[in-house]
Amino acid sequence: MKIINKQSFVRILVVDDFAAWRDYVLEKLRENRWLQVVGVASDGLEAISKADELQPDLILLDIGLSKLSGIGAAPRIRQVAPKSKMLFLSQETDPEVARKALNVGGRGYVVKSDAENELLAAVEAVMSGENFVSSKLAGHVLLGVADLLADAQFQREGLSGATLLSSKKVGHCHQVLFYEDNASLLDGFTRFVGAALKAGNPAIVVATESHRDSLFQRLQACGLDPRVEIIQGRYIVLDAVDTLATFMTNDLPDPVRFLNVMSDLISTATQAAKGEHPRVAACGECAPLLWAEGKANAAIRLEELWNNIAITYDIDILCGYPSRSFRDEGNDYIFRKICEYHSAVNPFLK
């Protein structure tokens, strides 16, 4: 392991009611000398008792346990062992089951059939303060994983995804939308931009020509007059390719150029707002275009810069990525990094 502190062992409690599987997990954990199994349990009630007694650093927790399921035991484990992290290890591949597991306090979810290749990586991720979701879900059920990653992140603060998006205590909101087709993207952009304009807030759209034209028509259909909003400076529409050219250097976004461009845009938009406390909304396709061109590192870097802008200026941002671009094997890491730089991950719109 590269990240876990080598000054002390990671003390692990293994909970599973199938003895042969427990033996396999124990053998797998022995591959790393810094992992120390301090106890085993075979049902949910025993897991709670052992967690209380041992106070392990990590609990590997099955879901289908006798007496009390892993999902049922998790909240009680959090009460008796609040510092212990939980990593679910289950044969269930249903995203809804995984979602429930993460919502009750799990920091990760590994499908047992993927354990050979993923268990140690998951342990490292969870012990490093990150979330982990099995590639079986990330590669084939992106909708479920999008929600899972969001829910797991929000769970750390005791918030659900819906609470985060609506809570006034949360500042910036940097959302990502994974969409199935252009209509779904436009639905998401229309709701996002329309809500801002109807509230008297400015909106910045950085998109392709076809999407800009279609969004214009959809806003009209919603009872808005985009022409008036443009004239009054509340609706700023830019071409994604042209905008990228203003801050890209050697196929990577230049932080200084990006900051200058976006600062000017936000300042201009804020001045046109109607309310006393304006809140700028921005949506676009710059990073997704970089990703589509095979420039994954540039896309990730740009999302990081957008996230900094969202925090610095306390604005709302919505990015749109076509979900089909992540269905190929090998894109799991990029998918997770993109999710990491967003405060909310929206399910695919249909």
Q: What is the DSSP string of 173-219?
A: EEEEEEESSHHHHHHHHHHHHHHHHHTT--EEEEE-HHHHHHHHHHH
pLDDT at residue 196, as a whole number: 93
| Residue 176, strand partner residues | 319, 345
Domain 10-145 CATH superfamily: Response regulator (3.40.50.2300)
Residues comprising the chain, all counted: 350
Q: Give how far Cα 272 sits from Cα of 170, 219, 240, 312, 314, Å.
A: 24, 19, 22, 20, 17
Which of 16-20, 145-149, 238-242, 327-331 holds the top average pLDDT? Answer: 238-242
pLDDT at residue 50, as a whole number: 96
Average pLDDT for 323-334: 75
User: Is residue 163 predicted with pLDDT exceeding 50?
Assistant: no
Cα gap 60→122, rounded to integer Å: 10
pLDDT at residue 125, as a whole number: 87
Tell me: the pLDDT tens digits for 173-224? Answer: 788 888 888 998 999 999 999 999 999 999 999 999 999 999 999 999 999 9
Tell me: the pLDDT tens digits for 141-151? Answer: 333 444 444 44
Burial tier of 162 (Cβ tally within 10 Å: 0-12, 13-18, 19+): exposed
Which of 73-77, 142-146, 330-334 holds the top average pLDDT? Answer: 73-77
pLDDT band, residue 347 (cuts 50/70/90): low
Cα gap 159→170, rounded to integer Å: 11
Write down the mean pLDDT value for the chain: 83
User: Is residue 164 predicted with pLDDT exceeding 90?
Assistant: no
Q: Give how far Cα 346 sits from Cα of 54, 175, 206, 282, Å.
A: 38, 7, 19, 16
Which bin fits 105, alpha (ψ -120 to 50), beta or left (φ > 0)? left
Cα gap 286→239, rounded to integer Å: 9
Q: Which of 272, 339, 271, 279 is nearest to 313 (CA)?
A: 279
Cα gap 96→296, rounded to integer Å: 29
User: Do the first three CATH levels of 10-145 and 171-346 match, i.e. the same topology?
Assistant: yes
Which of 139-143, 243-247, 259-263, 331-335 holds the top average pLDDT? Answer: 243-247
Tell me: the pLDDT tens digits for 22-40? Answer: 999 999 999 998 999 999 9
Average pLDDT for 107-128: 89
CATH of domain 171-346: 3.40.50.300
pLDDT at residue 212, as a whole number: 95
| Greater pLDDT, 152 or 173 | 173
pLDDT at residue 158, as a whole number: 38
pLDDT at residue 128, as a whole number: 86
| Residue 282, strand partner residues | 204, 317
| Contact call for residues 206 and 284 (beta carbons, < 8 A) | yes
Q: Token pair of 159, please?
A: 């918030």
Q: Token pair of 246, please?
A: 């203003």
Question: pLDDT above 70 covers what percent of the chain?
Answer: 84
pLDDT at residue 340, as a whole number: 80
| Contact call for residues 286 and 245 (beta carbons, < 8 A) | no
Instruction: Kindly list the domain boundaries of the chain, sorted by start residue.
Output: 10-145, 171-346
Average pLDDT for 87-102: 85
pLDDT band, residue 88 (cuts 50/70/90): very high
Exposure string for 107-116, b = 16+ CB within 10 A, e = fewer = bbbbbbebbe
Taking each helix axis from N to C terminus, what angle separates 95-103 and 70-80, rounded to the nearest 10 degrees? Answer: 20
Cα gap 140→122, rounded to integer Å: 18
User: Is residue 54 predicted with pLDDT exceeding 60?
Assistant: yes
pLDDT at residue 323, as a whole number: 82
Q: Nearest 5 degrees, angle CA 244-CA 250-CA 284? A: 20
Handedness of CA 268, 272, 274, 276 (dihedral sign): positive
Write the DSSP symbol of residue 329. T
pLDDT band, residue 329 (cuts 50/70/90): low
Q: Token pair of 91, please?
A: 């044969």
Cα gap 278→82, rounded to integer Å: 40
| Greater pLDDT, 260 or 350 | 260
pTM exceeds 0.95, yes or no: no
Q: Token pair of 117, please?
A: 């290749």
| Contact call for residues 322 and 179 (beta carbons, < 8 A) | yes
Q: To the nearest 5 percent, what fractions of the chain are helix, strand and coil?
A: 50, 20, 30
User: Is residue 165 predicted with pLDDT exceeding 60?
Assistant: no
